[in-house]
Structure 1
Amino acid sequence: MPHEVMKDIYLIRVPLPGNPLKNLNSYLIKGAERSLLIDTGFNIDACHEALVEGIDALGVSLDDLDIFLTHVHSDHTGLIGRLKTGKNRIFISSTDLLVLDRFRSTLRWKEIEEQSLSFGFSEEEITENRKTNPFKNYLPPQDLKIETIEEGFIFRIAGYSLVAISTPGHTPGHMVLYDEAHGLLIAGDHIIFDISPNITRWPELPDSLGDYLKSLDKIYKLHVTTTLSAHRNPMGDIRDRITELKEHHMLRLDEALEIIKAEPGMTTYEIASRMSWSIRAKNWTEFPLTQKWFAVGEAGAHIDHLIQKGLIEEYEENGKKKYM
């Protein structure tokens, strides 16, 4: 059932079956005439049933419910095709709509597979990923009207004035919503309190980790008393958490650099296999493929940042990108 976390703002927990994130925290802001839903869940029945049950419990009609998507990932966007009516509106940053459109293209996935080979994945792992990748499998349909917004756009609803703020890093066009008067930040995946958000490589961001760290600094300056995060425990001290997240990535950068200097000439896949990960698996071989994909992407983001800092160099050998 929905839980009121602030006046007229309700948390609806949407289960993410088989996913280590466990749940999505979707937020519904209930207004007198129109309401706003923030993020949706995967395009699967379990997510749809939980979300609609919560919306119905609050007595809100889908026709009167607009939707804001903090970012492009399918655990946030997947259900918009089932929730769209002829009278409601869907919003996302212009940057992440471009990313979404690319990911709904067969050509984009062919490019991803070619890049993955250069990072060190095997042909067998790439073939398996076609079947299991949740981003690919749970995307919303293409024939859907989605409106774009830019930083500074304001959602005025139920006495709140929520300003969209660009926070690239987790995705190229990730956005948070901020109400200064209420000290409220709806953080999406930019800040999660129980786990660190996945920062991966993006063709649109040469240095996604660098962008993420800058975005953390940007939010640190705001007056925030209540943070609503998109996964796990929704609330916590935002300043302490930002400090922890920055320290976490500094340690990861040091670890990646040490591995590369100790054994130059490895692929991203090989570097990731030597890094430490908080996952229930005895070794790299036993990593579930989806988690291996996230790990290689995150290792790659740290490698790219080290390149930007001039601490390592990238070169190509036999179609594989390697580092020294």
Structure 2
Amino acid sequence: MEVHYELPLGGAHLAYRAAEAGHDVVLCDPSFDISEESMERLESAGVELVTDDTAGVEHGEIQILFTPFGHTVKIARELLDDVREGAVLCTTCTCPPIALYHGLEGELRTKREDVGVSSFHPAGIPGAETQDLILVADARSEESGIELASEEQVERCVNLAEDMGYDVYVLDPELISSIGDMSVVLTVRIVQAICNYFSVARICGAPIEMIEEQVEEVLSTMAYLVGRYGLDAFDRMDGKLLLRSLRNMALTEDVERVVDFFERCYVDLLSGDRESMRELSSMMVPPDKLVDRVREIVGEAPVQYARRRFFEERRWGS
């Protein structure tokens, strides 16, 4: 699939589109390592170009952080005192909005209660012809009950994206990354796999409760293995073992195609054996069930504390 691009790309393209839509835009970049053509297009659209981040955060009602992976929280914390009153800080693809919120939670709940957190996620590379939507994080994370922003701040982001000509989806803050990041390749393949599995399970006469339980078991196991071993977990897997088991479930044409594709393309990549497979260990308890049991035993406060510690220790930058 050939994709055409329009300069400038990335965060600069968002600035360009916003300025073209009539908004007052400041683009901050310490280096401006972009082409001369991109610079000219930005300036002709009316984008103010500055190398001082403070000038930008003092200006914007909406502040879109197109920041390097692992540095977003640190950058936002250093600038938070200078952020315009009532502004909303929007992450893109390098940091989930909920991670930015937890990284700044102490300041947001004490010194800067006026500042909100959302997302302005392009779900692609701004400037690509296929990039035509923006994912905005909702004001509240329903599962955790955390208020990240006001409804007005979210609506402000929606209005800006629509002014820029984008289609807009408002999603739960904790769904944004799985839908918008490049990991959507995983998300969609998992959905496809669940559909394939559902067809086989129904042929086998499995009740819906068993089907749902096994989906949870597999996804929980995969997440646990990656969390514990990293992607090296798959180097320890025996592709031939998986293939032999999979063949027994080739009860539909779709799964027959999966068997064929897996055998041709992936079996040899999973080069583990009996011994390396035996070394792998997992925990089958789905995370939501585990959290529910912990909540029943010790209450809500320790659960929220553990959540905060998780986000502090992740690689988004604190």
TM-score normalized by the length of structure 2: 0.34
Which of the two has higher C-alpha Rg? 2
More strand by share: 1
TM-score normalized by the length of structure 1: 0.34
More helix by share: 2
